Structure 1
């Protein structure tokens, strides 16, 4: 007899030590799929994944201050996405390309906003690279919008432009 579940085995939880390796894999895969052209040829290939993994390990085990947190999205036991928050902002939100459009991003954003509210924030902000129309659609559907602020980041290959999106929470 087959066992059927009414809901998928998916969840979001605070990140724990050991999540840094799958988080780094998710980040590299997501950036490769979404940002490789914007960042410039070779930038994703040149990422120091060991250093990235070390930074995520520190963010998980020793957040830099109050209001910082990291969450992971799970499909069964597997980490398939993550979000990182700081006071008033979502610093990162990535979902493995093979697991996108499964609600993981929405669950991560909801967990991030819940944490920001708990910490007393009344707005949320995040940054979107130029030409990331999928992220813009996702954020727009969640109630965020561009607020007119932009910044330029140097990738070592070219400068890239990010636009801040925000909303009241």
Structure 2
């Protein structure tokens, strides 16, 4: 494999991050999201959202590199109370130190080369240095690849479920929770 690395994203990466997001969703999520939702994704709007996030957003964004190519990204930051609360609305004792991994995507053609693990590892290290004691993320229940990836890092469903409206189709997501010390297992 060529040189692989992770670095902090900068605003000029917004177009490539948006391209990777849309390509990945349109390739890997065809079973999860209706065609109308995938067809309606706007690349210019997505790029603008990422440019704003990289300039003014509260989340940190890292990109995975293979050689000179950006091949994936991870966005994370402090978890909002609504994301960390139990289904009944109560907050756990550690709510102030929980981080939310809001996005972790590797473009499918670059998959299975360790980029996801490097991204999550670098992000968790950064979050822990900032005081995070635990991480959470939401994964569609039917996304077996992402479920297996996070499980291999020691993150598991914590019993909280939400259902989103994905263009008129319900999308059931499980909240996964895990330590800041990752221990990847062979899959």
TM over 0.5: yes
Q: How many angstroms does 1:156 deviate by? A: 2.0
Give the structure 1 partner of residue 67 of structure 2. Answer: 76
- Matched residue, 2:89: none
TM-score for both structures, normalised by structure 2: 0.82
* Greater than 3 Å deviation, 4+ residue runs: none
Aligned mates of 2:143, 2:154 — CA distance in 1: 17
Instruction: Answer yes or no: is 1:85 the counterpart of 2:76.
Output: yes
What RMSD in Å do the two structures reach over aligned CA positions?
A: 1.2
Specify the SS of the correspondent of 1:143.
Answer: coil
Where does residue 10 of structure 1 map in the other structure? Answer: 4
The answer to whether structure 1 residue 63 and structure 2 residue 74 are counterparts is no
Indicate conservation of the 8 Å contact 2:141/2:147, yes or no: no
Q: In structure 1, what is the Cα distance between the partners aligned to 2:35 and 2:121?
A: 33
The aligned counterpart of 1:35 is 29
Gaps of at least 5 residues in structure 2 are 79-98, 181-187
| Conservation of the 8 A alpha-carbon contact between 2:100 and 2:137 | yes
Q: Of 108, 131, 137, which aligns to 1:126? A: 137
Equivalent residue for 1:4?
none
The question of 1:101 aligning with 2:109 is answered no
| Distance change (3 Å), C-alpha of 1:41 and 1:157 | farther
State the 1:112 CA deviation: 1.2
